[in-house]
């Protein structure tokens, strides 16, 4: 295997006159588009006509296509090499997915001309059959090096461990990894076997190297924290193009790190890691330069903001409009109003009390209070967007709660409630979606404590007063059917919940009805129900 060495920019400049790169590889990439087929607004929800007219929209597949075509044509015309990659989670997040169940993803990804895609956890939201729609429909490889689908009669031989893409005279290998907790966050079923991502990627790299491929890109859906661990551990990677954590890297305000982020690999050579936020708001553009011996000598780039300055592809925009017609009436139905924006930002709802978490959890309790249920627990990862001030449409509510989860109730002891909150904080440092938004509860979380010992001061509301939870008492709990069945690590719900009842209705309808019932409109708020030390 060729040893890869990324030298510092100053050293590259110093030797620029004596060595000439054999190949420059441009990687255009998206991740976590989450069914944002149409343009989005600043809250990551579907952009309305007024916002569009004001030039306040971002992304959308027509804009993604236009920018990719522009850059690809330019790069090829200049004799360069380009790959177009997606790091997973094209599925789930708008009424487009609810309506078309992946067929829209197939059509638009093919039209854009992707070269490869990693399987994301949400590609399994409708089971192996849901992923089969994608892998059977697209005309490029859909990859995951660390899942074994050989036992699945739906997916066997349809998801490759790796791919070799020929670009002119060059061969580029692509390996892939999917988050190992996907059985807890989606529905892959028992016949899709998850394997260690480090071991699987290492084996895939060895296999490609044995075939004489020495330019290898990892396309991952494991999150930015895990990407850094993979870069430091898996030998032979030239770059990691990631997703899952919706991480914004770059020079812009609010970025979580540099683009690319460099991590020393196991042989000391630095590995560039990139990610491009989510929802199609940015297009990543990473430029890798290799010398004539295949050694990586530079890695640079920035995500490109797909704002109103990018003119959407006219044909794709028209097709999107056609496909939106059947869902337009439902989406535009005004169900309520809010006096201020309702914050559902991912960074907040997965780490602390957030306004959207309070709204959804309160709505759940309100719906089942007559059944003696006083507590609700909602996973922060199930909240997918904010809502703007003013009129609230059903389409906005479905964008916040797109998973078609239904309301579920059961009984649980106080001790098991504490265990559930510990699970919610168990992956705090990864901003995991299991973080617990609550109603009828107060608790304190200490992120610096050891996982499993982060929760304290758990209080319940009783007759208008907050009192310490009684670990031996039994409480009525409301949640969504996904969590009730053990999703997002809430195994204690599935194992110990008593008198469980997945009676519905759709959680989006529960929230819409609750908002509609607020006289004078809804006012978002925080009340200190979650304290972070």
Q: Give the pLDDT band (50/70/90) at residue 440.
A: very high
Region 391-411: mean pLDDT is 91
- Both 261 and 196 in a single domain? yes
Q: From 258, 292, 321, give the residue that closes a domain.
A: 321
pLDDT at 330: 83
- Both 288 and 433 in a single domain? no
- Both 305 and 426 in a single domain? no
**Other Cβ atoms within 10 Å of 379 Cβ, number:** 27
Q: Which H or E element spans position 419?
A: helix 414-425
Region 295-319: mean pLDDT is 97
Which CATH number goes with the domain that contains 374?
A: 3.90.780.10
Q: Looking at the predicted structure, is the pLDDT value of residue 400 above 60?
A: yes
Is position 178 within any domain? yes
Is position 1 within any domain? no
Q: From 287, 321, 355, give the residue that closes a domain.
A: 321
SS3 state of residue 470: coil
- Both 199 and 316 in a single domain? yes
pTM higher than 0.85 for the full model?
Answer: no
Residue 219 belongs to what domain range?
9-321
Residue 251: C-alpha distances to residues 260, 261, 287, 387 (Å): 10, 12, 16, 27
Q: Looking at the predicted structure, is the pLDDT value of residue 15 above 70?
A: no
Is position 134 within any domain? yes
Is position 2 within any domain? no
pLDDT at 391: 96
List beta partners, residue 84: 28
pLDDT digit string (tens) for 320-359? 999 999 988 888 899 999 999 999 999 999 999 999 999 9
Q: How large a percentage of the chain has pLDDT more than 70?
A: 95
pLDDT digit string (tens) for 242-272? 999 889 999 999 899 999 999 999 999 999 9
pLDDT at 217: 98
pLDDT at 503: 65
Is position 4 within any domain? no
Contacts of 434 (CB under 8 A, 6+ apart): 379, 380, 381, 423, 424, 426, 427, 488, 489, 490
List beta partners, residue 376: 439, 478
Q: Looking at the predicted structure, is the pLDDT value of residue 21 above 60?
A: no
pLDDT at 493: 96
Q: Looking at the predicted structure, is the pLDDT value of residue 203 above 70?
A: yes
pLDDT at 388: 95
pLDDT at 184: 83
Residue 313: C-alpha distances to residues 27, 69, 70, 329 (Å): 20, 9, 10, 25
pLDDT at 77: 96
pLDDT at 504: 65
pLDDT at 506: 83
Is position 302 within any domain? yes
SS3 state of residue 315: helix
Region 447-457: mean pLDDT is 98
Q: Give the pLDDT band (50/70/90) at residue 416.
A: very high
Q: 190-203: string of b/e by CB count within 10 Å (b at 16+)?
A: eebebbebbebbbb
- Both 315 and 346 in a single domain? no
- Both 65 and 200 in a single domain? yes
pLDDT at 13: 34
Q: Looking at the predicted structure, is the pLDDT value of residue 79 above 70?
A: yes
Please compute Rg for the chain using Cα positions.
Answer: 24
Which CATH number goes with the domain that contains 80?
A: 3.60.21.10
Between residues 98 and 131, which one has the greater pLDDT?
A: 131
Q: Give the pLDDT band (50/70/90) at residue 44.
A: confident
- Both 273 and 149 in a single domain? yes
Q: How large a percentage of the chain has pLDDT more than 90?
A: 84
Q: CA 435 from chain center: how many Å?
A: 15
Q: Looking at the predicted structure, is the pLDDT value of residue 129 above 60?
A: yes
Is position 65 within any domain? yes
Region 98-102: mean pLDDT is 93
- Both 76 and 27 in a single domain? yes
Q: Looking at the predicted structure, is the pLDDT value of residue 318 above 60?
A: yes
pLDDT at 294: 87
Q: Which of 105, 107, 148 is nearest to 126 (CA)?
A: 105
Q: How far apart are the first and last CA of the chain?
A: 48
Contacts of 452 (CB under 8 A, 6+ apart): 422, 426
Region 224-231: mean pLDDT is 96
Is position 329 within any domain? no
- The least confident of 18-27, 113-122, 212-221 is 18-27
Q: What is the largest CA-CA distance in the chain?
A: 80
pLDDT at 19: 43
Q: Looking at the predicted structure, is the pLDDT value of residue 225 above 80?
A: yes
Sign of the four-CA dihedral 380, 382, 384, 386: negative
- Both 310 and 366 in a single domain? no
Domain count, the chain: 2
pLDDT at 2: 33
Query: Tokens at residue 335, please?
Result: 């169900």
pLDDT at 6: 38
- Both 196 and 151 in a single domain? yes
Region 522-527: mean pLDDT is 98
Q: Looking at the predicted structure, is the pLDDT value of residue 116 above 80?
A: yes
- Both 380 and 251 in a single domain? no
- Give 211-215 contacts, CB < 8 A, sequence gap 24+: 211/164, 211/173, 212/171, 213/164, 213/171, 213/172, 213/173, 214/1, 214/2, 214/294, 215/23, 215/25, 215/170, 215/171, 215/172, 215/173, 215/290, 215/294
Q: Looking at the predicted structure, is the pLDDT value of residue 12 above 70?
A: no
- Both 140 and 252 in a single domain? yes
Q: From 270, 287, 321, give the residue that closes a domain.
A: 321
């Amino acid at each position: 295997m060729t040893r890869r060495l990324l030298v510092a920019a100053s050293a590259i400049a110093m030797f620029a006159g004596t060595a000439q790169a054999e190949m420059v590889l441009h990687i255009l990439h998206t991740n976590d588009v989450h069914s944002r087929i149409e343009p989005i607004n600043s809250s990551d929800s579907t952009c309305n006509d007024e916002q569009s007219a004001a030039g306040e929209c971002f992304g959308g597949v027509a804009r993604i296509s236009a920018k990719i075509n522009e850059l690809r044509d330019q790069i090829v015309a200049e004799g360069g090499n380009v790959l177009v990659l997606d790091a997973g989670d094209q599925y789930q997040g708008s009424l487009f997915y609810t309506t078309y169940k992946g067929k829209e993803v197939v059509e638009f990804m093919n039209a854009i001309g992707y070269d490869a895609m990693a399987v994301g956890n949400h590609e399994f939201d409708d089971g192996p059959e849901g992923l089969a729609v994608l892998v059977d429909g697209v005309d490029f490889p859909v990859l995951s090096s660390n899942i074994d689908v050989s036992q699945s009669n739906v997916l066997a031989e349809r998801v490759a461990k790796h791919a070799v893409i020929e670009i002119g005279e060059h061969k580029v290998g692509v390996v892939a990894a999917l988050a190992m907790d996907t059985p807890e966050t989606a529905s892959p079923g028992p016949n899709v076997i998850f394997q260690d991502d480090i071991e699987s990627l290492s084996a895939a790299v060895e296999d490609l190297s044995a075939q004489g491929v020495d330019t290898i890109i990892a396309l991952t859906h494991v999150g930015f924290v895990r990407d850094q661990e993979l870069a430091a551990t898996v030998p032979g990677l030239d770059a990691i193009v990631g997703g899952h954590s919706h991480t914004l890297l770059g020079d812009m305000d609010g970025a979580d790190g540099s683009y690319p982020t460099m991590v020393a690999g196991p042989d000391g050579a630095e590995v560039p890691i990139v990610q491009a936020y989510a929802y199609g708001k940015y297009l990543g553009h990473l430029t890798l330069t290799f010398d004539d011996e295949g050694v990586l000598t530079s890695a640079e780039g920035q995500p490109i903001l797909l704002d109103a300055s990018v003119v959407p592809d006219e044909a794709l925009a028209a097709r999107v409009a056609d496909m939106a017609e059947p869902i337009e009436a439902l989406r535009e139905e005004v169900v309520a109003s809010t006096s201020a924006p309702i914050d559902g930002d991912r960074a907040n709802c997965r780490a602390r009390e957030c306004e959207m978490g309070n709204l959804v959890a309160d709505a759940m309790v309100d719906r089942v209070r007559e059944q003696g249920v006083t507590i609700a627990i909602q996973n922060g990862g199930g909240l997918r967007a904010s809502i703007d001030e003013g009129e609230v449409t059903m389409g906005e509510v479905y964008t916040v709660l797109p998973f078609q989860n239904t309301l579920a109730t059961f009984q649980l002891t106080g001790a098991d409630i504490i265990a559930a909150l510990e699970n919610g904080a168990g992956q705090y440092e990864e901003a995991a979606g299991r973080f617990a938004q609550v109603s009828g509860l107060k608790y304190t979380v200490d992120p610096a404590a050891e996982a499993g010992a982060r929760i304290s001061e758990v209080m319940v509301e009783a007759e208008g007063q907050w009192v310490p939870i009684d670990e031996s008492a039994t409480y009525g709990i409301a949640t969504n059917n996904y969590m009730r069945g053990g999703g997002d690590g809430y195994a204690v719900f599935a194992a110990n919940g008593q008198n469980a009842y997945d009676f519905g209705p759709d959680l989006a309808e529960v929230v819409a009805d609750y908002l509609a019932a607020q006289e004078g409109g809804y006012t978002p708020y925080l009340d200190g129900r979650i304290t972070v030390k």
